[in-house]
A and B are shown apart, each in its own frame.
Chain A
Amino acid sequence: MDRSDRGSKDAALVLRAREGDADAFETLVRRHYRAAFAVARGRVESPMDAEDVIQDAFIRALERLDDCDPDRFAGWFLTLVRNRAHNTRIYEGRRGGVDPEETGLPAPNDEGPARDVQRSEVRRALDDAIRTLTPVQREVLLLHDMEGLKHAEIAEVVGVSVGMSRYHLMQARRKMRDELDRDSLEVQGHGH
């Protein structure tokens, strides 16, 4: 589905959600959750805080839905997420940072405890690595490699040029690889 299709589908959903249609609002939440997570995670240190930011942003978005141009919902909503995340980050800074063990909600346990442990270790390693990136690197990396946006779309969302989006992605990937390699060497070192 290209951007104009996504935009027109969003517009119809926004109009229905304005009239209190819960199904339409739920579809908007599901469609934009991952991109919102990428933007929020770029600004806050923990996945849990990012999820709080997103939930709060969705409620705010619903309250202010009449201010939104239905054809431009995605950009409007992600700006709202970024602002909420920015405020949370300021609050975190005043609070004195987050608990480094705070790595998100518990993993599902339907695939056995061994698998859960493995997944939670992978997630912890990724979380540690992603914390070493700058906010814009995180945002670009997650929007590109997790949400699947193209550089032109990322440039619009993040407010940088297409060239800078490419540059940040390359830097972010390189830094992630270095951090993950270091982490795995440390794990191997502890194992011997």
Chain B
Amino acid sequence: MDTEGFEAEGVEEPEVAAVELTALDPTAHADRFDAVVANVLDEAGFELARRRRAAIGVGATLLRWGRVAWPAAAAVALASLAVLRTDAPVMGATPTAITIEEEMALAVGVPEALAPWVSETGAPGLGEILIGWEEE
């Protein structure tokens, strides 16, 4: 098979006129094509529904996690801000007694060393946020 001329760049192939192929085009007749597409969609219905359910499931899981994680993150952020705005005690000081607020701060992930300072500074809204979180 001599294809050398076709492989070379800029070489024009001998022109052979195209044959009219519209009669073979499966999309040329709208009604018929619509029926074929409807058939594909009908067969795909189960898989599409499964994917919709899965997508909703992922969304619901994220929402559920969000309801717990957002208040906790907000509490930690507020606590950290409160610490930065006050004259914080020396790091590593051991508290003599653990208050309820300290326990709650520890429960949402405030580092142990910061917990007593959070309770002392009384971070704004911390109690409400934590109570809201506990009720979830």
Using a CB–CB cutoff of 8 Å, the interface residues on chain A facing chain B are: 17-22, 25-26, 29-30, 33-34, 37, 41, 47, 50-51, 55, 58-59, 62-63, 105, 107-108, 110, 119, 122-123, 126-127, 129-130, 141-142, 145-146, 161, 163-164, 166-167, 170, 173-174, 176-177, 180
Contact = CB atoms under 8 A, between A and B. Distances in A.
Contacts of A105: 32, 36
Contacts of B19: 126, 129, 145, 173, 176-177, 180
Nearest to A177: B19
Nearest to B3: A167
Given A142-B21, A146-B25, A20 B16 contact: no
A29 B6 contact: no
B110 to A, nearest CB: 38
A61 to B, nearest CB: 9
Contacts of A110: 31
B37 to A, nearest CB: 5
9 contacts: A20-B50, A29-B37, A62-B48, A107-B32, A110-B31, A126-B19, A145-B21, A146-B21, A170-B14
Interface string B54-71: 110000000000000000
B37 A26 contact: yes
Bin chain B's interface residue count.
35 or more
B16 A161 contact: no
B23 A126 contact: yes
Nearest to B19: A176
B11 to A, nearest CB: 9
Contacts of B37: 26, 29-30, 33
Given A25-B48, A33-B33, 5 more contacts: A19-B51, A33-B36, A59-B47, A107-B32, A126-B24
Contacts of A26: 37, 41
Given A20-B49, A55-B36, A25 B44 contact: yes
B135 interface: no
